[in-house]
Amino acid sequence: MANEFESARTKIVATATQKLREFSLDFQELDVSRVTVNGREAEFEQVEATPDLSPIPEVSQPMKLVVEPHPSTRPKKGREFVVKVRYSGDPQPITDPDESIEGWIRACFPLDPPQTCDGAFVVGEPMGSQSWFPSNNYPTDKATFDTLIRVPQGKTALGVGELAALTQHGDGTATWHWTEDDPTGTYLTTATVGDFIYTVESMVENSTGRTLPVYNAIDATANADQLAAINASLARAPDQINFFSDNYGAYPFDSTGAVADRATGVGYALEVQTKPHYSGSFTFGTPSINISTQAHELAHQWFGNSATLETWADIWFNEGWANWSDWYWSFLEDGGDDPAAIWDDLYANTPDEDWETAPAILDGDPANLFHFFPTYQRGAMTLQGYKEIVGDAKFFELARTLLDRFAYGNVSTEEFIATAMEVSGFAGADLALLEDYFQQWLYGETKPTIVPDDF
């Protein structure tokens, strides 16, 4: 399958917070043919963003599409405006500062040529979405999305949210139209295309009685054993969603599902909104869904996708909650270790140098964004420690309070700490110690000395 956008269009409906003589969108180097603002042709230029993201030559430098509207259609403060961008070309993945790839990734196997490619595995954290559409690619600028993907008939194409229409055209192509009416971070969108076993089923959310569509897509090359294993994991997803719904409050979106693709060179999963994506192994792209990873990605629908980090330096918030949720689900539902025991083990046995990277600082280096210990493990330990300090009832009150206040929006580390201190009900010396606890655990560049037993 050719990796080519014959004719792509992005339409953005936005509200200006100031008068705009010029503005820029985040967009990599596809061939832009036309930009209009409020229906009138605009000037545009594609330039490299500044400063340089990384000194490593393989790392993609972000690009900007700078738009200068015609003076008669300049966006006015407080007014809605419409931008349309037409483009074409051969979308490329983005290489991040940690040298992993994201964005528009051709779904191919084996790892080295000659390869068979059946489409694209499209995941966008943190900046990959600008490899295939222009946007203000920042997690605080959420939007609702309509994703229309025209592909050869027989291919499956997946966007965020629910399937609004599947239109067969007379020329051997079909358009998949997905609509997501809940606010969505640009990094949580997708347009994955490929040869899939695609099914639409449904599940009932126990806490609300709602019926949710379940859209699953499994790589068509999965063999019988792989298919059986993937289906065994997918069969438990409704129970996992109900587990988190019981603990955190109603599932934030209107559908769920999964994409299990064969995409070599990826080797990670991503919590794409409503449709977590699983790439299988890095080398072989073996289609698979680990049950514990599935718990992690589903928990992200609450923490990460609904209540979203404010800046990328707050990534521990997304990953700490998802990692802790996986610990908790695995312990209660899958024979895993007690999170308290995991905490004890990590606190006792993690080497000193691993504590030098603070979760909410990450040495100021984007290459550390997905470092396992500071972002995932220490993030989850911070939450588990708080649970031991305040007790289960207040811990889950914190989870629900965060979602009450920040669902469909963003939350900073400072807002998290303020909410956790408030929910604790502590006062005086206890409250001061709790504040010091968070400072040490989230900002400290040495092993924290304040532990739950100190309270």
* Residues found near Zn ion in the complex (CB under 5 A): 319, 322
Give Cβ neighbours of residue 335 (< 8 Å, ≥ 6 apart). Answer: none
State the nearest-atom distance from the C-beta of 272 to Zn ion, in Å: 11
CB nearer to Zn ion: pick between 91 and 252: 252
CB nearer to Zn ion: pick between 261 and 319: 319
CB nearer to Zn ion: pick between 5 and 282: 282
The strand pair at 40-41 and 211-219 is best described as unpaired
Q: Which amino acid makes up residue 74?
A: R
State the nearest-atom distance from the C-beta of 326 to Zn ion, in Å: 9
Q: How many CB atoms lie within 10 A of CB 453?
A: 8
State the nearest-atom distance from the C-beta of 328 to Zn ion, in Å: 15
Q: How many CB atoms lie within 10 A of CB 339?
A: 23
The strand pair at 277-278 and 143-152 is best described as unpaired
| Alpha carbon of residue 24 to chain centroid | 23
State the nearest-atom distance from the C-beta of 271 to Zn ion, in Å: 6
State the nearest-atom distance from the C-beta of 377 to Zn ion, in Å: 12
State the nearest-atom distance from the C-beta of 260 to Zn ion, in Å: 17
Give Cβ neighbours of residue 364 (< 8 Å, ≥ 6 apart). Answer: none
CB nearer to Zn ion: pick between 30 and 315: 315
CB nearer to Zn ion: pick between 322 and 362: 322
Measured CA to CA, the distance from residue 285 to residue 109 in angstroms comes to 7
Segment 150-153 long-range contacts (CB within 8 Å, at least 24 positions apart): 150/174, 150/175, 151/119, 151/175, 151/176, 151/193, 152/1
The answer to whether 160 touches 145, Cβ cutoff 8 Å, is yes
CB nearer to Zn ion: pick between 298 and 442: 298
State the nearest-atom distance from the C-beta of 2 to Zn ion, in Å: 32
CB nearer to Zn ion: pick between 65 and 237: 237
CB nearer to Zn ion: pick between 118 and 319: 319
Measured CA to CA, the distance from residue 299 to residue 380 in angstroms comes to 13
CB nearer to Zn ion: pick between 186 and 440: 186
State the nearest-atom distance from the C-beta of 327 to Zn ion, in Å: 13
State the nearest-atom distance from the C-beta of 372 to Zn ion, in Å: 11
Burial of residue 452, with CB atoms counted within 10 A of its CB: 0-12 exposed, 13-18 middle, 19 or more buried? middle
By beta carbon distance, the residue nearest Zn ion is 322
CB nearer to Zn ion: pick between 322 and 342: 322
State the nearest-atom distance from the C-beta of 315 to Zn ion, in Å: 9
